[in-house]
Amino acid sequence: MRSTRVFETIVEPSIERVAVIEVLHVERHEGRDFVVSHVLRRNIFTEFDRRLSRHLAAVRGGGFPSVTASIRVRDRREKGAWQVCPPVNFSSIPAALATIARRAIGKADSATLRLHYQGLEDDERETTGVRRIIECEELDILDAALKSCEGFGEIAFLDITGDFDLVMIQPPDPKLPAIIMDLFKRRLTIPPVQGITSDPVSVPLFDFQKVVAENSDARTYMAALRHSMMAQKERAVLDFRSAAENRILDFERAMRGRALEGFRLDAVISLVARLKSGLGDSLAGLSEDAQITAFDWATVIEQSRYQGGYHKPADQESITEDGEHRRRSSAASAA
């Protein structure tokens, strides 16, 4: 199953979110002005889900989204009448800002945004926020910078932060300093590698691949980055296998021989779904005793379904015998 489906159906209910920034703009529809609010929140995963995300990114490409945008819309004349829209997930704050700005600009040449960094949960705040006018050219530069990020490796292993002026890319290896993209100057700076090179390399943002290939210090950094990414992917697989083993054994000890029913059954359903999404139906990579224990749980889950002891809501997904997940929406059920 794709990482996005795993996130939406299994992981999302258990995450916490921390508000980072609110972006507001005004849209005009049918002669009326509407205020659109995007509150960007960092997704805080449990340690097990964080390892599952990195495992999926290593073996399939694409981990869980790190940012979620909560969206609200209201008539400009009615301050308290917000209509809540479905949230949208993003790989990073800059990626979310690019999408929001693109919506705000629409077919125009520019758009005015209001950025709030404080009081994000308070609708009664008096501050108007930081006013920022974004032009199409600036947005094109940000899009190009985000596209360039893909050349540094799997996005799930890179900590990408920034705004409309600057994007910072922190590799997974703490010994490698962050890459800086100055969008105003349209320059990309590759830092030195500790103990190997001594000077940073500044190259044009739109042609950095060619310049990097011709600069030995830049090539050294890229080689160190690729080595780090390879090591991180291997570590991600091993870490998740180890975490899965420990989770199974810890759960088994917590059960103390009691029957899988009620909240215990709900907990084991969630755990088995995570295990299968990461390791497949065969739970490859686990020890035999951990596999046997998890398979026994899966059997109990199926028996409970057949006996009517477990009823999953129609608008969620159920785990079928072949390990695939199928969404059964309320609309489809009604049809």
- Highest mean pLDDT of the ranges 95-104, 118-127, 197-206: 95-104
Please identify which residue in the block is written with the tokens 């002669």. 31
* Residues 32 and 75: beta-carbon distance below 8 Å: yes
Q: Is 281 helix (H, G, I), strand (E, B) or coil?
A: coil
pLDDT at 116 over 80: yes
- pLDDT category at 205 given cuts 50, 70, 90 is confident
- Helices 288-306/216-255 angle, 10° precision: 60
pLDDT at 315 over 60: no
pLDDT tens figures, 1-16: 577 888 888 899 889 9
Q: Is 112 helix (H, G, I), strand (E, B) or coil?
A: strand
Whole-number Å distance between alpha carbons of 276 and 129:
45
Tell which wins on pLDDT, 82 or 209.
82
Amino acid in position 203: V
Percentage with pLDDT > 70 across the chain: 89
Percentage with pLDDT > 90 across the chain: 55
pLDDT at 325 over 60: no
Supply the pLDDT for residue 326.
33
- Highest mean pLDDT of the ranges 64-68, 118-122, 281-285, 325-329: 64-68
Between 121-135, 148-162, 256-270, the lowest mean confidence (pLDDT) is in: 121-135
Distance of CA 66 to the CA centre of its chain: 3
- Count CB neighbours of 225 within 10 A: 21
Whole-number Å distance between alpha carbons of 283 and 200:
45
pLDDT at 313 over 50: no
Task: Count CA atoms within 13 Å of residue 285 on its CB side.
Answer: 19
Considering just the CA atoms, what is the radius of gyration of the chain in Å? 24
Average pLDDT (143-154) is 88
Task: Count CA atoms within 13 Å of residue 253 on its CB side.
Answer: 6
pLDDT at 133 over 90: yes
Supply the pLDDT for residue 214.
85
Give the distance between the most distant pair of CA atoms in the chain.
Answer: 68
Query: Average pLDDT of the chain?
Result: 85
- pLDDT category at 195 given cuts 50, 70, 90 is confident
Nearest alpha-carbon partner for 114 in 183, 182, 181, 39: 39
DSSP for residue 151:
G
Supply the pLDDT for residue 265.
87
Supply the pLDDT for residue 311.
42
Supply the pLDDT for residue 5.
82
Question: How buried is 190 (Cβ within 10 angstroms: 0-12 exposed, 13-18 middle, 19+ buried)?
Answer: buried
Whole-number Å distance between alpha carbons of 265 and 143:
46
Tell which wins on pLDDT, 131 or 314.
131
Tell me how far CA of residue 283 lies from CA of 235, 259, 276, 334, in angstroms.
18, 23, 6, 35
Q: Quote the strand ranges of the chain, DSSP E.
A: 16-29, 32-44, 67-75, 83-90, 110-116, 130-135, 159-162, 166-170, 179-182, 187-190, 201-204, 317-319, 325-327
Supply the pLDDT for residue 38.
95
Supply the pLDDT for residue 1.
57
Q: Is 285 helix (H, G, I), strand (E, B) or coil?
A: coil
pLDDT at 327 over 60: no
Supply the pLDDT for residue 103.
95
pLDDT tens figures, 236-272: 999 999 999 999 999 988 888 787 788 888 888 889 9
